[in-house]
Amino acid sequence: MVIGSDLIPQILLPGLKPNVGGSLIAQNSIFGWILSGPLTERVSTFSTQIVENPGDSLNDLLRRFWEQEEVPAESIPTDDDAFCEELYQRTTFRREDGRYVVKLPFKPSFPETIALGHSRPAAQQQYLSVERSIEKRAELQPYSKVLGEYITLNHMEPCSSHEIVRDGKYFSFYLRHHAVLKPDSKTTKVRVVFNASKLSHSGISLNDVLHTGPVLQNDLMLVILKSRLYRYVFNGDIEKMYRQIYVYDEDQDFQRILFRRSQQGPIEDFKLKTVTFGVNCAPYLAIRTLQKLAKDSQEGYPRSSEILTKETYVDDILSRINPRVFTTGLRYP
């Protein structure tokens, strides 16, 4: 703290100790003892600077303090949120095998005002770079196996290598993808990350032409605190939650990727058939479908419906166990 010399007489108190540590003089003050003089040993020092923010009045600080403790008010839906909800209710349906099919919430301005350009060349360049990284790093070898699982589970299928163009506007998009290592994961140590924010040749990305959708997930802190009320608790997660939900056939061409099944094989074109993490509306579509599943199952499985609605955070479940009857009875296809 730097103070003016005119204040020195006001802070000094009676008391003076010479030869402190052999070479220092200690002077008593209202802040404690002040040391001065030459040093014969190396010491570590630090300084603290305090700057007053003139924009934060005491009233503002107190108001913000109490606001931290308040339960957040429900957000008011925007016009975009209302559009997404209306589209979801009007277009979502359930197949005979129990899986839901949803439509991507494209903005009304697409493709008249905002349009996509070609994206395959940039995606191919990115994929070749990924392959070079896999060759150099042994820990990335499972990458191809993870993508191969998409084919095995029918979560993606081959498609044409020609981009869809009508009246000079593109109605397909290639997602660039890369590997992310998760060394601490007990299941999947290598994850594939799809990027829908990369720009096409027109300067517009897939995420630019899609609505994000409203935030629907429960408050994580409330889910955890509620579990503390129970004597017996269990936790679980919905396996491959996003990929349990399919998208409309005509929307799948906006989720194309490039992939080589084997080192000697050619690079092939595929389209992802399910909700894909990396597309901005994926969290909304997944959680909204989970809510719909809970509502559709409420009559037959009321307890399971309550768990999905109130005791689930995205794909993680934290709820109570009935020690006499441990069954939910609900099968998520």
The pLDDT tens digits of the residues spanning 228-274 come to 888 888 888 888 899 999 999 999 999 999 999 888 889 999 999 99
Alpha-carbon distances, residue 180 vs 49, 126, 133, 188 (angstroms): 41, 15, 12, 10
Closest C-alpha to 148, from 277, 239, 268 = 268
**Rounded mean pLDDT of the chain?**
85
> Which token pair is 301?
């499985």
Question: Which of 16 and 43 is assigned the larger pLDDT?
Answer: 16
Say how far apart CA 60 and CA 47 lie, in whole Å.
28
Q: d(Cα 103, Cα 83) in Å, to the nearest integer? A: 12
Distance CA 267, CA 128 (A): 9
Range 125-129, long-range pairs (CB < 8 A, 24+ positions): 126/176, 126/177, 126/178, 126/198, 127/176, 127/177, 127/258, 127/259, 127/260, 127/267
Q: Over the stretch 103-154, which tens digit does the pLDDT of each residue have? A: 999 999 999 999 999 999 999 999 999 988 888 888 888 888 889 999 999 9
Q: Is the pLDDT of residue 72 over 70?
A: no
- Quick check: helix, strand or coil at residue 49? coil
- The torsion angles phi and psi of 221, rounded to 5 degrees, stand at -65, -40
For residues 274-310, one letter each, b for 16 or more C-beta atoms within 10 angstroms of the residue's C-beta and e for the rest, the string is bbbbbbbbbbbbbbbbbebbbeebeeebebbbebbee
Contact 35, 20 (CB under 8 A): yes
Neighbours of 49 (CB within 10 A): 6
Q: Angle CA(315)–CA(317)–CA(323) in degrees, nearest 5? A: 155
Q: Tell whether the model's pLDDT for residue 36 goes beyond 50.
A: yes
Is the confidence at residue 327, as pLDDT, over 70?
Answer: no
Residue 95 — very low, low, confident or very high, per pLDDT cuts 50/70/90? Answer: very high
The structure tokens listed for 91 are 């277009």
**Alpha carbons 52 and 49: distance in angstroms, whole number:** 10
CB 130, CB 187: distance < 8 Å: no
Cα dist from 285 to 47, 142, 274, whole Å: 52, 28, 11
pLDDT (0 to 100) of residue 332: 40
CB-based contact 181:140 (threshold 8 Å):
yes
Tokens of 319: 């709820």
103/39: higher pLDDT: 103
Can you give the pLDDT at residue 333?
41
* Distance in angstroms (rounded) separating the CA atoms of residues 122 and 125: 5
CA torsion angle 73 74 76 81 (round to 10): 150
Pair of tokens at residue 190:
């290598």
Residue 31 has pLDDT above 90, yes or no: no
Tokens of 219: 């408050």
Binned at pLDDT 50, 70 and 90, residue 203 comes out as: very high
**What pLDDT, in 10s, does the model give residues 182-191?**
777 666 678 8
Cβ contacts of 253 within 8 Å, gap of 6 or more = 159, 164, 171, 172, 173, 271
